[in-house]
Chain A
Amino acid sequence: MAKRFDVRRQNGFVSLAILCFFLLYLPIATLVVYAFNDNDSLAIWKGFSLRWFHVAWNNGLVIESSIRSFQIAAVAALLATISATMAALATTRTNPYRGLTFKYAFINQPLMVPEIVTAVALLIVFSRIKIWTGYSGLGYLVAAHTAFCVPFAYLPIRARLESMDLALETAAADLYATKWKTFRHVTLPLLWPGILAGLMLAFVVSLDDVVITEFVKSGGQDTLPTYMLGQIRRGVTPEINAISTAFLLLSIGIVTAFFFVSRKRT
């Protein structure tokens, strides 16, 4: 009998895989290791120390921009997830019609349009609105983040809705549940893992956005990523490594927490 084709048995596959993981994780590992470097220079190891974490913690700008990042991400992710849930329901709980595919593309547009294009467009539109209204708060950043977060929240929610047995909703209607009650007692509880996954994705995507934020933000509205970008221009100290490491741990923490919550739900 001929051996079944298995990509793992191809020559060089294992070494190639190891190389890929190496290239992927070595820089991150280096970054994390040097965050603990007790030296002003980034490149020369002097000894282990938490000095740079301390410096970052006492840097008012770091804390301020971090808080701003989280505020924007929290609000934008929430709004994006709500919109995405409604969009997913509207595009799955319907008979296919002409133009439905176009709607998918339309909703997912932020994934396809180059970010820089969106950023420039938003910059132009928002600067006009700023002149007309005089408002220059965080609203612009929240609006921009919400917009590009929608497809990230939409995809897992739609996937979940599509894999759901439609007979469940029919059964609920058969058992005297109105449309709203069907949604509340059957669709929504079963959709939760998808919604949580969408929320998490949207949150993380908003948290590390640079391009759109850089273009849209007003003076003094740095988020953590744009602050770091600004710092690097001035010369790098291991403080950047320390901030990045903290950021990394936080992201891992959030993702893990969401993972466990959503797994418990299913």
Chain B
Amino acid sequence: MTAMRPAVEANGVTRVFRGTGQDSVRALDNVSVAIRENEFFTLLGPSGCGKTTLLRLIAGFDFPTDGEILLYGQDIAPLPPFRRPVNTVFQSYALFPHMTVADNIGFGLKMLGRPKAEIEVRVDAMLKLVHMQELKNRRTSQISGGQQQRVALARALAPQPKVLLLDEPLSALDYKLRKEMQIELKRLQHETGITFIFVTHDQEEALTMSDRIAVMSSGNILQVGTPWDVYDHPAERFVADFIGETNFLTGTVESAGNGQAQVALRSGAKIRATAAVDFRVGSNATLMVRPEHAKLVKGRGDLCGTIENIVYFGTDTHIHVRLDEGDVFMVRQQNSRSAGCGFENGTRVGIQIGDNAAQLLKD
């Protein structure tokens, strides 16, 4: 087993849906990505970005217009789904309503022609893995949504696939259950050692669960990286905007080099920022600052403005400041038990932006 060999590789995958007449849709446009063995990999993006299409191509429910999909080096793109050692957890769960929980979980092994005794042992092990032993003989219509979710997981894991695909499996659950299942999924991935490919549009879900995230938009992968990478070092404006909350400031590059740059804002304020790529001096550029990386101060800061709105969130407070240049800048401040956040609506404040807090982005 070579550790560095990718479990799944997409090479130049394109999928075009031919519509009626001339309007065809390019759901995936020359996408290449390598997913490592034993990785919790997330495809993240807004609806229509092509994440589900890519998942369906890996599962075999759909076939690429162009490009290849490799599973441990073997091209599986032309294989039907039942010949791929890959299983899926569906968004709607798609449990078989005419079967018991146990029969659902054992279905894959039964289709593979495994002996009955082996299936029984494996089903029991799966039921234990997802804590569902008592509901073994229930019909799937007689169990709750969260339990159905667990059965769907157990069913997909039972045949010990090389890769498990998860198509927004948590979207139908309520907030609390979703949080529980996020931890549960991480545990299952850890215990089974199977590569998970997870599709979601929920950036928080992606950040908390993934080893690596691929951020997608209109048929392209914009960035692949760890949650820390994509959050703190987004490759472009779309990624920064889609993941987490961000303040954007526009200005002119005054000096650039060695991954650093200085930007002058319209108000004349000068901000130091990191820059992933080289920017031409004198060109316009977008700066991003995460709300929690800026600090509100009484008096003057790197930026100045007037507090417009204070929103209390329990764990923290969001303070919206109308900058002198006209934009609204949000600062997130951790709450403590001592009363208030220390600021009031309408007061003039300064905003301090620490070293390394600002980043220059290409649009």
Binding site for B on A (CB under 8 A): 165, 167-168, 170-178, 181, 185-186, 189-190
Contacts and interface: CB of A to CB of B under 8 A. Distances in A.
A185 B155 CA distance: 15
Interface in B87-139: 87-88, 90, 92, 94-98, 107-108, 111-112
Contacts of A175: 82, 87, 107-108, 111, 155-156, 159
A237 to B, nearest CB: 51
B61 interface: yes
B92 A167 contact: yes
Interface in B280-336: none
Contact of A171 (B60, B86, B90): B90
B98 A174 contact: no
6 contacts: A168-B94, A170-B81, A172-B96, A173-B80, A174-B88, A178-B82
Nearest to B88: A174
Nearest to A167: B94
Contacts of A176: 82, 108, 111-112, 159
Contacts of B61: 170, 173-174
Given A165-B92, A181-B111, A173 B98 contact: no
A166 to B, nearest CB: 9
Interface of B: 59-61, 80-82, 86-88, 90, 92, 94-98, 107-108, 111-112, 155-156, 159
Centre residue among A167, A168, A173, A175 by max chain B CB count within 10 A: A175
Q: Is the interface of A mostly helix, strand, loop or mixed?
A: helix
Centre residue among A172, A176, A178 by max chain B CB count within 10 A: A176
Contact of A167 (B82, B90, B155): B90
Contacts of A181: 111
Centre residue among A174, A177, A189, A190 by max chain B CB count within 10 A: A174
Contacts of A190: 97-98
Contacts of A186: 96
A178 B90 CA distance: 19
Contacts of A168: 94, 96-97
